[in-house]
């Protein structure tokens, strides 16, 4: 049984939101927090719980709904902050109530919002999430102000130094490419979470350190349907050839993750938990992997740590309310080791 502190419990309440070189690898000294720049989306999520996804032309009665903060970029920023990183966020929200509430949530998490701008012409991004009783979901996103992020927003943020840059595909493509190039110029590891699923010219992302799509996103990028670990292994090789990323990590949910590293493929099984809501699990995985990698320089240990964070995330409802703090992850890992030794 996993015991949580009062602080941890509060983080998971189901409420609407009221150069250090070691062995040739750049790592972060343990005396300071890793500094993470997130360039990405921030949305308000409308989560509607339903027994199942309705068929075409069918109406179902939902069980309940709630508003929670979300967006792939914002989820990764909050996950990184709760795991102990110093986080700066680049993005945009509308001048509306959702925007005000989302910015306030960032400040509560200790995230730097110097580069989170208000946009007068666009509404704050919105995601409508249909959540089944099994924990599976379907998501429809209205990007809104997220698509108004421009080069100036990104260039301003890069005036500061970071240990890693996290990117996703819910913002304009040219912004993603620009951020990746700026990271390369400053020798900062860039990690791309390739969601939502879409074709993308990976060849433009020279210098990418880690490319990490899920199964659906992998298919969109390669044309290879990923249903098994073997499928993922084949697709990972294609992704590595296209992107030239140092590492390709394919997230496979309950099947774990696949690592492609310079021609070597390795499978990392997932931790067994009871899934309640899979929303933001991939974002939590990406943030955790990035933090652990820049701290320790070991991609395999980073994936194992990220698997634990992702597993914890699916045991709670909502995107950001489900994201764990570092102390909880350590408890989970220690309990997992104890169970394996019995």
Dump pLDDT digits (tens) for 168-203.
999 999 999 999 999 999 999 999 999 999 999 999
User: Which residues, 6 or more positions from 36, have their beta carbon under 8 angstroms from its beta carbon?
Assistant: 77, 80, 85, 86, 87, 88, 162, 163, 164, 165, 166, 287, 290, 291
- Does residue 208 fall inside a structural domain? yes
Q: Distance between CA atoms of 115 and 87, rounded to whole angstroms? A: 11
- Does residue 129 fall inside a structural domain? yes
Q: Distance between CA atoms of 200 and 213, rounded to whole angstroms? A: 12
For residue 26, the model assigns a pLDDT of: 59
CATH of the domain at 246: 3.40.1190.20
**What are the tokens at 231?**
């499928």
Residue 12 pLDDT level (bands cut at 50, 70, 90): very low
Q: Give the pLDDT mean for 218-243.
A: 96
Q: Is 283 a catalytic residue?
A: yes
Please determine, for residue 1, whether its predicted confidence score (pLDDT) is greater than 60. no
Please determine, for residue 211, whether its predicted confidence score (pLDDT) is greater than 90. yes
> What residues pair up with 37 in beta bridges, in sequence order?
88, 165
Residue 25 pLDDT level (bands cut at 50, 70, 90): low
For residue 244, the model assigns a pLDDT of: 95
Are 311 and 284 a contacting pair, CB within 8 Å? Answer: no
- pLDDT one-digit tens code per residue, 26-85: 566 665 799 999 999 999 999 999 999 889 999 989 999 999 999 999 999 999 999 999
- Does residue 16 fall inside a structural domain? no
How many residues appear in the chain?
A: 342
- Does residue 198 fall inside a structural domain? yes
For residue 21, the model assigns a pLDDT of: 31
Secondary structure (3-state) at 211: strand
- Does residue 20 fall inside a structural domain? no
- Dihedral of the alpha carbons of 297, 301, 304, 308, in degrees to the nearest 10: -70
Please determine, for residue 258, whether its predicted confidence score (pLDDT) is greater than 50. yes
- Does residue 265 fall inside a structural domain? yes
Are 84 and 33 a contacting pair, CB within 8 Å? Answer: yes
Of 106-120, 130-144, 155-169, 263-277, the least confident? 130-144
For residue 136, the model assigns a pLDDT of: 84
Please determine, for residue 142, whether its predicted confidence score (pLDDT) is greater than 70. yes
For residue 271, the model assigns a pLDDT of: 97
**In this prediction, what percent of the chain has a pLDDT beyond 70?**
89
Residue 190: in which H helix or E strand, if any? strand 190-192
Helices and strands in the chain, H and E counts: 10, 15
Domain containing 223 equals: 29-341
Q: Distance between CA atoms of 164 and 249, rounded to whole angstroms? A: 16
Are 28 and 295 a contacting pair, CB within 8 Å? Answer: yes
As a whole number, the mean pLDDT across the chain is: 90
- pLDDT one-digit tens code per residue, 90-131: 999 999 999 999 999 999 999 999 999 999 999 999 999 998
- Does residue 13 fall inside a structural domain? no
Q: Given the structure tokens 């991004």, which residue do they identify?
A: 125
For residue 301, the model assigns a pLDDT of: 98
Which phi and psi angles does 311 have, rounded to 5°?
-65, -45
For residue 135, the model assigns a pLDDT of: 81
Alpha carbon of residue 310 to chain centroid = 10
Q: How is 315-341 classified by DSSP, letter by letter?
A: TSSSSGGGPPPHHHHHHHHHHHHHHHH
Domain count, the chain: 1
Please determine, for residue 10, whether its predicted confidence score (pLDDT) is greater than 70. no
Q: Distance between CA atoms of 72 and 82, rounded to whole angstroms? A: 15
Q: Distance between CA atoms of 290 and 305, rounded to whole angstroms? A: 10
Considering the candidates 13, 96, 283, 338, report the single residue annotated as catalytic. 283
Alpha carbon of residue 42 to chain centroid = 12
For residue 340, the model assigns a pLDDT of: 58
């Amino acid at each position: 049984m996993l015991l949580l502190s009062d602080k941890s419990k509060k983080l998971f309440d189901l409420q609407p939101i009221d150069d250090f070189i070691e062995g040739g690898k750049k790592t972060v000294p343990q005396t300071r927090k890793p500094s993470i720049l997130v360039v990405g989306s921030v949305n308000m999520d409308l989560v509607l719980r339903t027994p199942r996804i309705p068929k075409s032309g069918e109406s179902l009665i939902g069980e309940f709904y709630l508003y929670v903060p979300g967006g792939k970029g914002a989820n990764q920023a909050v996950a990184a902050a709760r795991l102990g990183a110093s986080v700066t966020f680049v993005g945009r929200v509308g001048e509306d109530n959702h925007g005000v509430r989302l910015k306030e949530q960032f400040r509560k998490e200790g995230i730097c919002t110097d580069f989170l701008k208000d946009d007068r012409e666009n509404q704050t991004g919105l995601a409508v999430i249909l959540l089944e009783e099994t924990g599976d979901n379907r998501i429809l996103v209205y990007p809104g102000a997220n698509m108004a992020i421009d080069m100036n927003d990104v260039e301003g943020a890069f005036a500061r130094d970071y240990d890693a840059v996290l990117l996703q595909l819910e913002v304009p493509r040219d912004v993603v490419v620009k951020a990746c190039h700026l990271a390369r110029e400053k020798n900062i590891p860039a990690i791309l979470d390739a969601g939502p699923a879409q074709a993308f010219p990976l060849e433009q992302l020279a210098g990418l350190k880690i490319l990490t799509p899920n199964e659906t996103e992998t298919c969109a990028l390669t044309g290879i349907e990923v249903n098994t670990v073997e499928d993922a292994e084949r697709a990972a090789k294609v992704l590595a050839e296209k992107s030239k990323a140092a590492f390709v990590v394919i997230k496979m949910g309950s099947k774990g993750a696949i690592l492609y590293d310079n021609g070597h493929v390795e499978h990392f099984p997932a931790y067994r938990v009871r899934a309640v809501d899979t929303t933001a699990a991939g974002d939590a995985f990406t943030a955790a992997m990035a933090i652990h990698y820049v701290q320790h320089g070991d991609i395999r240990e980073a994936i194992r740590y990220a698997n634990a964070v992702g597993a914890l995330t699916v045991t709670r409802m909502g995107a950001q309310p489900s994201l764990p703090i570092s102390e909880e992850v350590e408890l989970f890992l220690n309990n997992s080791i104890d169970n394996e030794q019995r």
